[in-house]
C-alpha cells in the first residue's frame, strides 16, 4: 500500500499529518491552512479519500488528486489542484504554500505555524531543520572489499537535517516547478525536495528551527518508535 495509508495507532499516516496541518493556527487563532491538496497514486485516490472522510477530514477545504511519476511531479499536481481551489482569480503571488510529507505524521501544528510565519515575514523559501548531532564524514567510492576511504570530516556546526513542511510564496514555488518541469517525470533526476528546486533558481532558502516530533517514518523501526512515542 502507499506509505500514506500505512496504519499508525489505527489511522493512516496521511490522516495524522492532515489533522495536524489543519490544526495549525495563526496569532489570531484562525486556521492557517485554507486549502489542503493531497496527492496519491492514481489507483489509491479513493482509498485516501475514504481514510480522510472516516477521520472527519473530508470537506470543501480538502481535495485528493492523482500524483505523478516522482515526488516533484506529485507536488506539481497538488499545486495545480490548489490553483483551482483558489477560484477564478487564482492564488495571490504572496500566498503561502506549505509542502508536507505524510511520512511525517506527528508534525506539531506550532512548527507548521512557524514556517508559515517566516514566509509571511519576508522569507520566500523556508525549511525547518534540526542540528546534525552525529559526526559526518565524506568518503570516496568503496573498494573491492566494500571499505571506503574517508576524505574528510565535515564540520557539523553548519549542517541541518531538513524536515517538512517546507514553506514558499506561491510565486516562487510555481516558478521553481516551471523551471524544472522537464525532469519531473524521472525520479532519478527529479528534486528530492522543493527547496532544492528553489536553490536551482539561485534563490535563497532560509532555515527555521525544526522539531524532533516531526520525525520521518521510512523503516519498520521508525514506525515502531512512532507507535511507542506518538507525538510526545
pTM above 0.85, yes or no: yes
pLDDT above 90 for 209: yes
Instruction: Provide CB contacts within 8 A for 227, sequence distance 6+.
Output: 8, 9
Would you say 99 and 164 are in contact if contact means Cβ atoms under 8 Å apart?
yes
Query: Tens digits of per-residue pLDDT, 147-166?
Result: 999 999 999 999 999 999 99
pLDDT of residue 65: 97
Domain count, the chain: 1
**By C-alpha distance, which of 70, 55, 50 is closest to 16?**
55
Average pLDDT along the chain: 95
Full residue range of the structural domain in which residue 75 is found: 3-229
In this structure, how many other beta carbons lie within 10 angstroms of the beta carbon of residue 30? 8
pLDDT above 90 for 96: yes
pLDDT above 90 for 174: yes
pLDDT of residue 205: 98
pLDDT of residue 170: 98
Confidence of residue 189 (pLDDT cuts 50, 70, 90): confident
Any bridge partners for residue 138, and if so which?
152
Q: What is the DSSP letter of 31?
A: B
CATH number at 138 reads: 3.90.550.10
Amino acid at each position: 500500500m502507499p506509505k500514506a495509508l500505512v496504519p499508525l495507532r489505527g489511522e493512516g499516516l496521511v490522516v495524522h499529518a492532515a489533522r495536524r496541518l489543519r490544526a495549525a493556527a495563526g496569532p489570531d487563532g484562525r486556521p492557517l491552512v485554507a486549502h489542503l491538496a493531497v496527492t496519491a497514486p492514481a489507483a489509491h485516490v479513493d482509498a485516501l479519500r475514504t481514510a480522510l472522510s472516516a477521520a472527519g477530514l473530508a470537506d470543501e477545504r480538502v481535495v485528493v488528486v492523482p500524483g505523478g511519476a516522482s515526488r516533484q511531479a506529485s507536488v506539481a499536481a497538488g499545486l495545480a489542484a490548489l490553483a483551482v481551489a483558489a477560484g477564478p482569480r487564482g492564488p495571490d503571488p504572496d500566498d503561502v504554500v506549505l509542502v508536507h510529507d505524510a511520512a511525517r505524521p506527528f508534525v506539531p501544528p506550532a512548527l507548521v505555524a512557524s514556517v508559515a510565519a517566516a514566509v509571511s515575514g519576508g522569507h520566500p523559501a523556508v525549511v525547518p531543520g534540526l542540528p546534525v548531532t552525529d559526526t559526518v564524514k565524506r568518503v570516496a567510492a568503496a573498494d573491492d572489499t566494500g571499505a571506503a576511504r574517508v576524505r574528510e570530516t565535515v564540520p557539523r556546526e553548519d549542517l541541518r537535517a531538513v524536515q517538512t513542511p517546507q514553506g514558499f510564496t506561491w510565486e516562487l514555488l510555481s516558478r521553481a516547478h516551471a523551471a524544472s518541469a522537464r525532469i519531473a517525470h524521472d525520479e532519478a533526476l527529479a528534486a528530492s525536495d522543493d527547496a532544492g528546486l528553489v536553490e536551482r533558481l539561485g534563490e535563497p532558502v532560509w532555515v527555521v528551527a525544526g522539531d524532533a516530533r516531526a520525525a520521518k517514518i521510512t523503516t519498520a523501526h521508525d514506525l515502531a518508535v512512532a507507535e511507542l512515542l506518538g507525538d510526545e
